[in-house]
Amino acid sequence: MLLKIVQVGDPVLRDRTRMVSREEVQSPKFEQILEWMRETMRDAPGVGLAAPQVGLPLRFAVIEDNVESDQTERKPVPFHVIVNPILTMVGTGQVEHYEGCLSIEGFQAKVRRAQAVRVEGWDHHGDAVTIDAAGWYARILQHEVDHLDGMLYIDHMDPRTFTTTRNAGLAAGPSPSRSLSP
């Protein structure tokens, strides 16, 4: 089942999410929601989808990226879930790229993000995980965790680069085949 992706202006996108309990994570209902979110993310298409984007004020997101590009340090990332993530920047390196969002359809802007991050949280079983990521994967994680904190890429963007997705491709060369969102 495809879920409706809420758009900018919906209050759920600006509120902080609540932590998910281990009992919730291990429930059949949670498993079903994850499957629906995976289908919705793939259909959009996107590389991540946070619970608030489908109207749920809960602290989790699904992520998957099948694209590879040396230009953006982008490598395939298999499907996975991050629950109750805590994100830490690693080092001082930053990178600026065009970024879009499934909840802000049709637009992109340049966003400066940390080059590398560490995320600690749970997987879809409620087991502890630590993810060390760099490049595009680090960008995806930052974007998704922002959603869980009530933030959107437009809060970090260079406003002079805000443009339609079509024009972003003209300004930066070919745009990524899948929108970053999250």
Residue 175 confidence class, pLDDT cut points 50, 70, 90 = very low
User: CB of 161 within 8 A of CB of 115?
Assistant: no
pLDDT digits (tens, 9 = 90+) for 26-57: 999 999 999 999 999 999 999 999 999 999 99
- pLDDT score at 176: 47
Closest C-alpha to 173, from 102, 76, 108: 108
Closest C-alpha to 8, from 102, 99, 111, 98: 102
- pLDDT score at 9: 97
- pLDDT score at 180: 54
pTM equals 0.91
Go through the domains of the chain in sequence order and give each one's CATH number.
11-172 (3.90.45.10)
Q: Which DSSP state fits 157?
A: B
Closest C-alpha to 45, from 93, 101, 98, 110: 101
pLDDT digits (tens, 9 = 90+) for 70-119: 888 899 999 999 999 999 999 999 999 999 999 999 999 999 999 999 99
- List active site positions: 144
SS3 51: helix
User: CB of 45 within 8 A of CB of 174?
Assistant: no
